[in-house]
Amino acid sequence: LSNCLGGLCDRPKNTNVRLSLPAVCFVWQIAMIILFGIFIRYDEESDAHWIEHRKHKNISSDIENDFYFRYPSFQDVHVMIFVGFGFLMTFLKRYSFGGVGFNFLIAAFGLQWALLMQGWFHSLDYTDGKIKIGIENLINADFCVAGCLIAYGAILGKVSPVQLMVLTLFGITLFAVEEFIILNLIHARDAGGSMVIHTFGAYYGLSISAMLYRPNLDQSSALHGSVYHSDVFAMIGTLYLWMFWPSFNSAITDHGDAQHRAAINTYLALAATVLTTMAISSLFQKHGKLDMVHIQNSTLAGGVAVGTAAEFMLMPYGSLIVGFCCGIISTLGYIYLTPFMEKYLKIQDTCGIHNLHGMPGVIGGIVGAITAAAASEAVYGQEGLINTFDFVGDFKDMVPSKQGGHQAAGICVAVCFGIGGGVIVGGILRLPIWGDPADDSCFDDEPYWELPEDEESIPPIVQYNNHMRNKDVVESNFSMEQH
């Protein structure tokens, strides 16, 4: 595969996806309908039998339906997936349509597949073989999609929408398996998905990018940058991710204090990250000027890194310390590590996901392991400790120090699934059938989008050239007369 099936890859690129994209969309959507028909039903809180269920279980009020505990957080997470990730990827001067549009496409497909994959692992009702879904499943589906959107960041502008659909199909599948191993088999806790979502997503994307390495990508260098307004658009994405990250990290934690605490910890970690990101960005630039790339990305690293430990008793100052460190590490990553990885490791990372999700995700896993290992009844209370770490059932004899080890094992699983899955999927994506762009038309919406004529910039040039051409004619006539 690495020699790409004997030169097949050397054919001139054909980016026409007129048959392949509709075919993939239709076939997969029809498959979803069939599988949903066979497997997916409402759970007891979203089924019309709720009113009977409520009386049966002596639930005093409709407000105790899980919908009211989680719906506000769900909508915030939904905004992060579609506007947050989508607009963060509009920063390129001529790839804003692809950034926000393909993000939309793969998220909409991925969440359906995620409901099935995660449902089989977590929400299968063995009495009737059906997956029963409610609001928590929707949040988890959005989480699952986030892993693939992170991976998209590494290859932004260098792949076709068909490749992205393939990336998503395999990505969701790998995610669901990896998540089951980490959360259920290993019994690690990962409220905000530092390991499960961010670490996995980042290494999955980076491995794919390595497999799709383009030695002549500098042919697209003219489009590999932002313009003033595209940077402002990207700030919409940044800010929605930043503001709603407390909802992300608290969305599926336990009712009550766990959701409350996760929101506070995330809020604080992110605030500290902004200050150290700005500081490092200014310190390492000529003349102390701030770089928008850092502001758009590194300010979010604290939210990633506090993901696992957000529901633990990390303490407010602990959150600040995590945010403090990640702002520094992530920004330095953009300054030193990304160029290094491109030059020496042959990994081209368009959005710098290694700095925003990879390193902070691993740090988040480590912070989670340490915080778990250090947990004590003095800090959590007896019931609080059991509640927070879910020391029940098969794991009722678990102790914090051992939990710390399990957390650390989770990091390894996430990294391995990311790299292993990425290498395999990257190999598949190298097949010359997916309609990816040539090296000189990367970072360009032109191959996949009908573009409007840009009235604002073209006329001056056109007018100028026309004017010049006429003048030249006049002048050359004039010159001839002179001689």
Site for its own copies in 376-435 (CB under 8 A): 379-381, 383-385, 387-388
Q: Which is nearer to its own copies, 35 or 424 (CB)?
A: 35
Span interacting with its own copies, options 27-35, 202-210, 337-345, 399-407, rule CB under 8 A: 27-35
> Which among 44, 64, 40, 63 is positioned nearest to 52, based on CA atoms?
44
Q: Which of 379, 370, 380 is nearest to 403 (CA)?
A: 370
Helix (H, G, I), strand (E, B) or coil at 36: helix
What letter represents residue 433's amino acid? Answer: I
Residues 372 and 395 sit within 8 Å (Cβ to Cβ) = no
Contact window for its own copies (CB under 8 A) among 311-319, 342-350, 362-370, 409-417: 311-319
Q: Which of residues 317-346 bind its own copies (CB under 8 A)?
A: 317, 320-321, 324
Stretch that binds its own copies, among 166-174, 177-185, 262-270, 363-371 (CB under 8 A): 262-270
3-state secondary structure of 56: helix
Segment near its own copies (CB under 8 A); pick from 82-90, 355-363, 396-404, 406-414 = 82-90
| Shortest reach from residue 399's CB to its own copies, in Å | 16
Residue 120 lies near its own copies (rule: CB under 8 A): no
Q: Which residues pair with 42 in a beta bridge?
A: 133
CA angle 71, 75, 78 (to 5 degrees): 135
Q: Does 127 bind its own copies (CB under 8 A)?
A: no
Q: Given candidates 76, 179, 190, 444, which one binds its own copies under the rule CB under 8 A?
A: 76
Q: How far is CA 141 from the centre of its chain?
A: 13
How does DSSP classify residue 312?
A: S
- Residue 386's closest CA among 404, 399, 401, 402? 399
**Rounded to the nearest whole angstrom, what is the least distance from the CB of residue 3 to its own copies in the complex?**
29
What is d(CA 201, CA 151) in angstroms, rounded to the nearest whole number?
5
Select from 13, 124, 213, 257 the one that contacts its own copies (CB under 8 A).
257
What is the nearest approach in angstroms of its own copies to the Cβ of residue 120? Answer: 15
CB of residue 338 to its own copies, shortest distance in Å: 16
Closest CA to 109 of 28, 183, 16: 28
Q: What Å distances lie between residue 380 and 239, 270, 305, 337, 389, CA to CA?
A: 33, 24, 22, 39, 10
CB of residue 102 vs its own copies: minimum separation in angstroms? 9
* Residue 480 touching its own copies (CB under 8 A): no
Burial class for 3, CB neighbours closer than 10 Å (0-12, 13-18, 19+): exposed
Minimum distance from residue 337 beta carbon to its own copies (Å): 19
Q: Which of 154, 199, 153 is nearest to 341 (CA)?
A: 154
Distance CA 367, CA 387 (A): 20
Q: Is 173 in the site for its own copies (CB under 8 A)?
A: no
Q: Does 163 bind its own copies (CB under 8 A)?
A: no
Least CB distance to its own copies at residue 181 (A): 27
316 binds its own copies (CB under 8 A): yes
The binder of its own copies chosen from 17, 156, 306, 414 (CB under 8 A)? 17
What are the residue ranges of helices labelled H in 89-227? 96-122, 135-154, 161-179, 200-211
Q: Does 13 bind its own copies (CB under 8 A)?
A: no
Binding residues for its own copies, rule CB under 8 A, total 152
CB 194 within 8 A of CB 143: no
**Residue number, 6 or 452, with CB nearest to its own copies:** 452
Cβ-proximal residues to 122 (8 Å cutoff; 6+ apart), any chain: 140, 180, 184
Closer by beta carbon to its own copies, 74 or else 417:
74
Q: Report the distance separating Cα 348 and Cα 474, nearest Å.
A: 51
Torsion sign over Cα 279, 284, 287, 289: negative
Q: Which residues pair with 131 in a beta bridge?
A: 40, 124
| Candidates 62-70, 203-211, 363-371, 394-402; binding stretch for its own copies (CB under 8 A) | 62-70
Q: Which stretch binds its own copies (CB under 8 A): 186-194, 195-203, 278-286, 425-433?
A: 278-286
Cα–Cα distance measured from residue 233 to residue 87, given in angstroms and rounded to the nearest whole number: 6
Q: Which of 143, 240, 248, 443 binds its own copies (CB under 8 A)?
A: 240
* 2 vs 60 by CB, closer to its own copies: 60
Residue 85 lies near its own copies (rule: CB under 8 A): no
Directed axis angle between helix 161-179 and helix 96-122, to 10°?
30
Q: How far is the CB of 66 from its own copies (least distance, A)?
A: 8
Q: Which is nearer to its own copies, 245 or 417 (CB)?
A: 245
**Residue 51 interacts with its own copies (CB under 8 A): yes or no:** yes
User: Which residues inside 432-451 make contact with its own copies, applying CB under 8 A?
Assistant: 447-451
Looking at this protein, which amino acid is placed at residue 51?
Answer: I
Q: Quote the least distance from Cβ 59 to its own copies, whole Å.
A: 9
The secondary structure of residue 199, as a DSSP letter, is I
Among 67, 180, 391, 395, contact with its own copies (rule: CB under 8 A):
67
Sites for its own copies among residues 180-239 (CB under 8 A): 222, 225-229, 231-233, 235-236, 239
Distance CA 50, CA 66 (A): 12
Q: Which of 1, 5, 8, 22 binds its own copies (CB under 8 A)?
A: 22
